[in-house]
Structure 1
Amino acid sequence: MMPSARIHQPRAFGKVAVLCGGWSPEREISLQSGSNVYAALERQGVDATLLDVDRTMLLGPALDGFDRVLNLVHGRGGEDGQLQAVLDLRGLPYPGAGVAASALAMDKLRSKRVWRDAGLPTPAFAAPGDLAAAHAAAEHIGYPLFIKPVADGSSVGIHKVRSGEQLEAAFLDAAQYGDVLMEAFAEGREFTCAVLDGTPLPLICIEPAGEFYDYHAKYLSDETRYLCPAPVDEALRDRLQAMALEAFAAIGVRQWGRVDFMLDANGAPQLLEINTLPGMTTHSLVPMAAQAVGIDFDALCWRLLECTMEAA
């Protein structure tokens, strides 16, 4: 059961800035998220303003006069602690992870190291600095494997690699976004567990259109299937929800976000990554999980604003 929502009149929130856009490869998704959230707040009488963020505007007067912020700037700049640091310095409350947790969660390599050191299961991984090191790491990890950027989301630059012949192209594509992470492929079902206000929401089982849950399957395809609540037994459900909270605690994430899992060949869950600023689009998973417990999109956005009242 979700905790009951606290009640605030729209005027209690004051002036709210909804931030979106940014300059990462996830810009277009961020614009969709921001527009959806802004519309939801407007429908509920909140005094909200939608701002398309660029690299310089936050250093000027753009946020003057606002009382709190909903940040929907996905990817680098908005999700990695930079924007959070600006908001903290300005004394503007926002829901979700703070500076340190945002930076750590955005770095897939370091977050996996934290989970490993905390005894939480995550697929074998490596961070090769060049193509020769990538070939050596692949021999250790084994094929198939995934190659992805260390610090981008929305499945940007991710590739499933089945052989050494495919490795170079995948590595070079991922490397254009920065450092590269290689990860063992966990052969099994994929799940995600959203967390809202510190409480896990129903699991979603993802059956992607295509071989894996890439950008197209996430945002463009209408053929990807989402089973929510996921058809799993109570023991697996409880285990994944507990692991999501443990993953949050290890990174230091607060209030809301999402944790992704794969089951391995033995049916054991493996942590893939944590998302501290999930999408709020028509294809996004947190709204889907919230809806499963009776929290519609407008109510979800209201709940996120209420989280800023706790931080104020």
Structure 2
Amino acid sequence: MSQVHLQPLRIDPASLGKVAVLFGGTSAEREVSIMSGTGVLQALQSAGVNAFAFDPAERPLEDLRTEGVDRCFIALHGRGGEDGTVQGALELLKIPYTGSGVMASSIAMDKIMTKRIWRFEGLPTPDWRMVSSADECVHALAVLGAPMIVKPAREGSSIGLTKVTDPAQCAAAYAAAAQHDPEVLCEQFIEGEETTCPVLIVEGHAQALPVIRIVAPGGNYDYQNKYFTDEVQYLCPSGLDADEEAEIQRQVVRAFRTLGCRGWARADVMIRQSDRQPFLLEINTSPGMTGHSLVPMSARVAGLSYEQLCVHLLASASLDSTTR
């Protein structure tokens, strides 16, 4: 599975109709969403698509119907754009959109629900505890062991995330996460290599793209390093053993299907150093499309340019009611 080569879609841009690229929004990831959406908009326009910018923080979604929009490219990240709410509104407006539907978007945004489903289906994910106080966070550290990751259950881009090694750090870590979400996830830290793997629907089937291995300075792949520095190394091809990469791709496709995702997504996977066991961390149903983003990087290795990827994704826009 690790050898992937994709052919660009042969499609008349005019057939895609009038397209709204949704970006901005009101979440903590607004800044990243603006970078993603700006890139997508420019790419679609360069490909000849009749696309325009639409920020749901500034305009009501009802304007999409009154302006005769035929489909939407969702470049929103975080709450209000990636959690099923915008998807539900577009279902009611009957405007096809990119990415997963209402249920899959909602579940994937919630890391705790995602992990419960993956665990039930036998997929490997680090052990965890949901906590509602600093004292419970201390108890989770005693159970899960150090180091431990503390993060909001429903945020992305490493927002509100802390790595703790000592009970004295738990109060501040809990407060940082709870600032963004009342549900806080304490997760066993997997010591090893960090990877990510996109999934793209190709001819109706979920196809894992090449794995990217992430080497961050000091192992600190935080919000700043993700989007605003050039210190992180992204290795694609990953340099992993072919069988190891193929196993990651297989697990990621299973993770995608288990949650009922569609269109595209990107799953983050840690490889435990001690035994090379891969562990699924989370899945992102509206991945970044910035200059530092990983799906375009992987797609490029598989043969699709940024512009071709954007057209491919836009052509896959659909509604829940038309996919069942």
Correspondence for 2:309: 300
The answer as to whether partners of 1:146 and 1:184 remain within 8 angstroms in 2 is yes
Task: Determine if contact 1:202/1:228 at 8 Å carries over to the other structure.
Answer: yes
Amino acid at match of 1:252: G
Q: Aligned to 2:23, what secondary structure does the other structure show?
A: strand
What CA deviation, in whole Å up to 9, does each residue of 1:46-89 have, x standing for no partner? Answer: 1001111118611x324421000000110001000000001111
Q: Does 1:84 align with 2:93?
A: no
- One-letter amino acid matched to 1:171: Y
Partner of 1:135: 138
Mapped contact 1:20–1:73 kept (Cα < 8 A) = yes
Aligned-partner Cα distance in 1 for 2:218–2:42: 32
Post-superposition offset of 1:211 = 3.1
Q: Could you say which residue in structure 2 is the equivalent of 1:214? A: 222
How big is the shift at 1:17? 0.4
> In structure 2, how many angstroms separate the alpha carbons of the residues matched to 1:279 and 1:290?
13
4+ runs deviating over 6 angstroms: none
* TM superposition shift of 1:309: 6.7
Report if the CA contact (8 A) 1:2-1:199 is conserved.
no
Picking from 76, 100, 103, the partner of 1:100 is 103
User: How much does 1:167 deviate?
Assistant: 1.1
1:83 is paired with a residue whose SS is helix
State whether residues 17 and 63 of structure 1, in contact with CA within 8 Å, keep that contact through their aligned partners in structure 2: no
TM-score, normalised by the number of residues in structure 2? 0.93
CA gap of 1:235–1:10, structure 2 versus 1, over 3 A, is same
Q: Which runs of 5+ in 2 are unaligned?
A: none
In 1, the alpha carbon distance for the partners of 2:299 and 2:116 equals 30
The answer to which structure, 1 or 2, has the higher relative contact order (CA under 8 A, 6+ apart) is 2
- Residue 295 of structure 2 corresponds to 286
Instruction: From 243, 249, 261, give the equivalent of 2:257.
Output: 249
Matched, 1:181 2:189: no
RMSD of Structure 2 on Structure 1 (CA): 1.5
Q: Deviations over 1:72-128 (max 9, x none)?
A: 110001000000001111111112110000000000001001000100111110011
Distance 2:86 2:271 in 1: 34
Relative to the length of structure 1, the TM-score reads 0.96
Identity %: 43
Paired AA for residue 217 in structure 2: A
Q: Contact conserved, 1:205 with 1:228, CA < 8 A, in 2?
A: yes
Q: Is the 8 A contact 2:8 2:304 kept in 1?
A: no
In the alignment, which residue of structure 1 is the partner of 2:41? 38
**Counterpart amino acid of residue 203 in structure 1:** V
Does 1:69 pair with 2:46?
Answer: no
Superposed CA offset, 1:244-278 (max 9, x none) = 00001111111211010001232100110000000
Query: In the TM superposition, what is the alpha-carbon distance from 1:26 to its structure 2 partner?
Result: 0.2
- What is the Cα deviation at residue 133 of structure 1? 1.2
- Give me the whole-angstrom Cα distance separating, in 2, the residues matched to 1:229 and 1:88: 38
Q: CA deviation at 1:3?
A: 4.9
Q: 2:219, 2:6 → 1: CA distance?
A: 37
Does structure 1 retain, via aligned residues, the 8 Å contact 2:7–2:304?
no
